[in-house]
Amino acid sequence: MGDPLVPDLAVGDGSAGARTVRRFGVVAVVSAVLWILIVAVLHVVRSDLDPVETYISDYAIGEHGWLMATAFVIVGTGMMCLSVGLRAALVPAERVQLGVALVAVTGLGFILAGLFTTDPTGADETSTEGSLHLLGAVLVFPVTIANAFVLRGVFRRDPSWAPFAARWRWAPWVLLVGMVAARGSPEEIVGLTQRVFAAVIIGWYTAVALAVVGRRSVSRARPSPRRSRRRSVSARGPARTRRRGRRRGR
């Protein structure tokens, strides 16, 4: 049974299925580029904020805040598309389903961060909206690190992805070190360390998306046991009919 989100994808270079999967990868790459561009623009139009000590989410507060919110939603949507394309580009397995699901969870985290604005730094109380924004951050940062280790194993087990796994084998550890550094950095440079960590996350997912774009074919899902039994029963049917016909002829 094929992927419920992707139509019956045919295998082969130039097939409609392969082109569809590439489009999902392209959307993910474009969303990452747009996120970077919007954040860069915000650093110009919000010159009153010091990027070295200001969290990225703080750009969603006040003037031009809609730009930051839009950037989060865009990149989150791109992650959702990446999860669909990645599922079709990998040989089906239980760990594949986990890795693909965690990519979608990361996308959901970015979207939550865009839909709900963070509380101002130093606020006395955490609002409901601020709590939902923090939930989005949890779904992005720790989940991305955990998923990097999951996907590393997935890529290593898939022969067609083995070269990619070899090139990016240190990515999970770099992400882990990046989060530790961002969490433990002094307040004076917390904005800088968070930007470096965010850049590593976006870079990692962009690399995966580019690998999906470069796929020459897509993987078919293995048929379910129930469907396999039906096929075997239907295959036995004509054979039994032929045997009965021969006995009657005798």
pLDDT of amino acid 63? 84
Q: Which two tokens stand for residue 125?
A: 């109380």
Q: How many CB atoms lie under 10 A from the CB of residue 217?
A: 17
**Torsion-angle region of 62 (φ positive above 0: left; ψ -120 to 50: alpha; else: beta):** left
pLDDT of amino acid 16? 59
pLDDT of amino acid 20? 82
Write out 98-116 in H/E/C secondary structure. Answer: HHHHHHHHHHHHHHHHHHC
pLDDT of amino acid 183? 85
Per DSSP, 197 falls in state H
Q: Which two tokens stand for residue 102?
A: 């965690």
pLDDT of amino acid 125? 87
- Cα torsion 232, 238, 244, 247: sign: negative
Taking the C-alpha atoms of residue 50 and residue 38, their distance in angstroms, rounded to an integer, is 17
Length of the chain: 250
pLDDT per position in the chain (250 positions), as tens? 444 433 333 334 446 567 888 899 999 999 999 999 999 999 999 999 999 999 999 999 988 999 999 999 999 999 999 999 999 888 887 889 999 999 999 999 999 999 999 998 878 888 999 999 999 999 999 999 999 999 999 999 988 898 999 999 999 999 999 999 888 888 889 999 999 999 999 999 999 999 999 876 555 444 444 444 444 445 455 555 555 555 555 5
pLDDT of amino acid 37? 96
Per DSSP, 222 falls in state P
pLDDT of amino acid 123? 82
